[in-house]
């Protein structure tokens, strides 16, 4: 199957700093990428959907100015958590889809664990 990577796999930062997480599709072109967050022992919550070359669509309740998403190429999307606070500590997972031609299947990255001190 298609491979999606995330970097870093974990990050610890101080409150007030910004953190960038990368999501890459390694062997296919991802027309759409999705960002999820997951709190311990809970399910995945979709944060936003991004299409290459256009602005991301955020889910209700997700602050677009806090969670900046850039999908500049067909193989890379980035999520920047700006001015991070301890409540932003979570597991962030991205997924990538090649679009309708690929059956709309999403391929998930391994996740990034963010801890904000």
Partner 1 sequence: SQQGEEDPQALSIQEGENATMNCSYKTSINNLQWYRQNSGRGLVHLILIRSNEREKHSGRLRVTLDTSKKSSSLLITASRAADTASYFCATADTGTASKLTFGTGTRLQVTL
Query: Which residue from 24, 7, 33, 29 is spatially nearest to 95, judged by alpha carbons?
Result: 33
The only residue of 18, 59, 64, 83 in contact with partner 1, by rule CB under 8 A: 59
The only residue of 83, 110, 115, 117 in contact with partner 1, by rule CB under 8 A: 110
Q: Compare residues 28 and 107 and give the one whose CB is closer to partner 1.
A: 107
**Sign of the CA dihedral with 114 first, then 94, 6, and 78 last:** negative
Nearby residues of 13 by Cβ (< 8 Å), 6 or more positions away: 19, 84, 114, 115, 116, 117
In angstroms, the CA 35 to CA 23 distance is: 9
Q: Compare residues 7 and 113 and give the one whose CB is closer to partner 1.
A: 113
83 binds partner 1 (CB under 8 A): no
Q: Compare residues 42 and 73 and give the one whose CB is closer to partner 1.
A: 42
Interface residue list for partner 1 (CB under 8 A): 1, 6, 32, 34, 36, 41-46, 49, 59-60, 91, 93, 95, 97, 99-100, 104-111, 113
């Amino acid at each position: 199957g298609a491979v999606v990577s995330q970097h870093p796999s974990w990050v610890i930062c101080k409150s007030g700093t910004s953190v960038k997480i990368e999501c890459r599709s390694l062997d296919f072109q991802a027309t759409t990428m999705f960002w999820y967050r997951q709190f311990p022992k809970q399910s995945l919550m979709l944060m936003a959907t991004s299409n290459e070359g256009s602005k991301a669509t955020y889910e209700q309740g997700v602050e677009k100015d806090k969670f900046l998403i850039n999908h500049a190429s067909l193989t890379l999307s980035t999520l920047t958590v700006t001015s991070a606070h301890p409540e932003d500590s979570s597991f962030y997972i991205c997924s990538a889809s090649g679009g309708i031609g690929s059956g709309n299947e999403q391929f998930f990255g391994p996740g990034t664990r963010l801890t904000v001190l």
